[in-house]
Amino acid sequence: MTTVSDVLVIGSGVFGLASAWNLARAGRSVIVLDRAPVGTEASGWALGRLDPLLKGSGSTGATEQDLPEGQISKPEAQQELARLSFRAHQELSSEIEDVSGVDIQVDHQPTLQLFYSAEERAFAKSYAARWTAQGFQTDLVTTDEIHKIDSRFNPTEFGGAMVRGPYFIDSLRFVTALASCARAAGARMETATVTSLETLVGSGNVNVHTDQGHYEAETVVVAAGPWSPDLLKPIGTDIPVHPSKGEILRLEPPASGPFSAHVHGPCSLVLKKDGLVWVAATAADAGFDRTPTDASRRKLLENARTMMPEAAESAVAMHTVCFRPATPDDLPVLGRAGDRGNVIVATGGGGSGIVQCLYIGRQVEEMVATGRAEPELASISLSRFGD
Ligand SMILES: Cc1cc2nc3c(=O)[nH]c(=O)nc-3n(C[C@H](O)[C@H](O)[C@H](O)COP(=O)(O)OP(=O)(O)OC[C@H]3O[C@@H](n4cnc5c(N)ncnc54)[C@H](O)[C@@H]3O)c2cc1C
């Protein structure tokens, strides 16, 4: 028996669920297939930092290459997407909580960006007014001022910047909430491993083969994270998405009490609402190796020690591994594939997929509604990679 729907979404990570939610509430019949429970992969394990300004410490690809010395912001090419994505969270967060009944643990603590060179300080100085004008109050602080904020922080002679506006959520709660929203809008979620896709002669619909039987849909959205290339290659679409392994430590809080800023430098150090100090993250090309390594644990503790020596003395409560769907330019991939262009590719969120997903979900729905081949932003189009 074949199950038929308007749209079939492969992947119940944040990209798939944000797409499913938007499609279902626009009136389409939607089925979401995943081989695993919601939140099993990166969408359930990410740090949950929503920051449109600063580059992440576990950044990969273009964010780590060829940036001028001292650049602490995301590269210019990523800034428009970051702005639009952040705005989508501001617009939709409350609705997501209301509809799902899930507290996604929005946490507005400021970011204390520590500087490790005169160039970083000069860069922040040149951006502070711009970021403040955009609603992200940015104040340069001296080494002494940082000690006054919290004597346990360990700044260099170059000081830092207090940035207000970027914030945190709990990724697992967020992806769970998105699943509730998608279901409430009428999307059906089923467990199945997709094995292949094929275009049907005649109807032009896409036939989706799974270990649980066949599905047929007018449009298929491939949002299978770093596993997306395996599904797309057999239908003739190569996307340069690869797994970037990221490890995070969650530490017991410092014995001397909590601290109230996200400290950012060689890593993120943040006391989250789960009561644990998250130290994030590493980035490695190691395929789909899910093993937490001692080397990463040591590296993360060393980075934490650099910024706040006491934090690194606490016991490790959790050591997690998940995979970013990474692209060479650190931008997602959105576009049409398949014989008739009715396979929509939505992946490549890299280290910013949680912040990007609500914008991507809206874009997917718009592409289905209008039949448009390209997303609004050329910078994220599938066609940028050529044939
Ligand atoms: C360590 C780390 C920290 C991060 N921190 C942040 C952060 O602070 N802020 C931020 O914005 N982003 C962050 N990210 C990035 C973010 O987690 C990812 O970009 C995002 O979760 C990817 O979502 P996705 O839906 O594309 O993929 P995934 O979450 O990987 O979901 C893909 C889904 O597809 C399913 N699937 C795959 N193949 C098949 C198949 N054949 N059949 C059926 N189902 C299949 C999988 O089971 C999975 O559920 C972080 C990532 C890492 C690794």
pLDDT averaged over 10-residue windows placed end to end, the chain, 387 residues = 91 98 98 98 98 84 79 94 98 98 98 98 96 97 98 98 98 98 98 95 91 97 98 96 98 96 97 98 97 98 98 98 96 95 97 98 98 96 88
- Write the secondary structure of the chain as one string of H (helix), E (strand) and C (coil): CEEEEEEEEECCCHHHHHHHHHHHHCCCCEEEEECCCCCCCHHHHCCCEECCCECCCCCCHHHHCCCCCCCCECCHHHHHHHHHHHHHHHHHHHHHHHHHCCCCCCECCCEEEECCCHHHHHHHHHHHHHHHHCCCCEEEECHHHHHHHCCCCCCCCCCEEEECCCEECCHHHHHHHHHHHHHHCCCEEEECCEEEEEECCCCCCEEEEECCEEEEEEEEEECCHHHHHHHHHHHCCCCCCEEEEEEEEEECCCCCCCCCCEEECCCEEEECCCCCEEEECCCECECECCCCCHHHHHHHHHHHHHHCHHHHHCCEEEEEEEEEEECCCCCCEEEEECCCCCEEEEECCHHHHHHHHHHHHHHHHHHHHHCCCCCCCHHHEHHHHCC
Measured CA to CA, the distance from residue 282 to residue 42 in angstroms comes to 13
pLDDT at 61: 73
Reading the block at residue 387, the tokens are 């044939």
- Ligand 1: centre distance to CA 213 (Å): 25
Beta-bridged to residue 242, according to DSSP, are 326
Say whether pTM exceeds 0.85.
yes
Rounded to 5°, angle at Cα 161 from 156 and 165: 145
Q: Tell me, using a 6 A CB cutoff, whether residue 43 lines ligand 1.
A: yes
Ligand 1 pocket check for 375: Cβ under 6 Å: no
Kindly state if the Cβ of 292 falls inside 6 Å of ligand 1: no
Structural domains of the chain in order of their starting residue, each with its CATH number: 1-105+165-240+327-387 (3.50.50.60), 111-164 (no CATH), 242-326 (3.30.9.10)
**Residue 202: per-residue pLDDT:** 83
343 in Cβ contact with 197 (< 8 Å): yes
38 CA to middle of ligand 1, Å? 10
Q: Is the CB of 280 under 6 A from ligand 1?
A: yes
Q: Is 229 in the pocket of ligand 1 (CB under 6 A)?
A: no
Q: Report how far ligand 1's centroid is from the alpha carbon of 352 (Å).
A: 10
In the block, residue with structure tokens 């066609």: 383
CA nearest ligand 1 atom 41, residue: 194
Contact in structure between 132 and 161 (CB atoms under 8 Å): no
Q: What per-residue confidence (pLDDT) applies to 47?
A: 98
Q: Are 297 and 305 in contact (CB under 8 A)?
A: no
For residue 233, the tally of other CB atoms under 10 A from its CB is 11
Q: Looking at residue 200, what is its pLDDT?
A: 85
CA-closest residue to ligand 1 atom 2: 46
- C-alpha torsion angle, residues 56, 62, 64, 66 (rounded to 10): -140
Tell me which residue of 154, 40, 50 sits closest to 111, measured CA to CA: 50
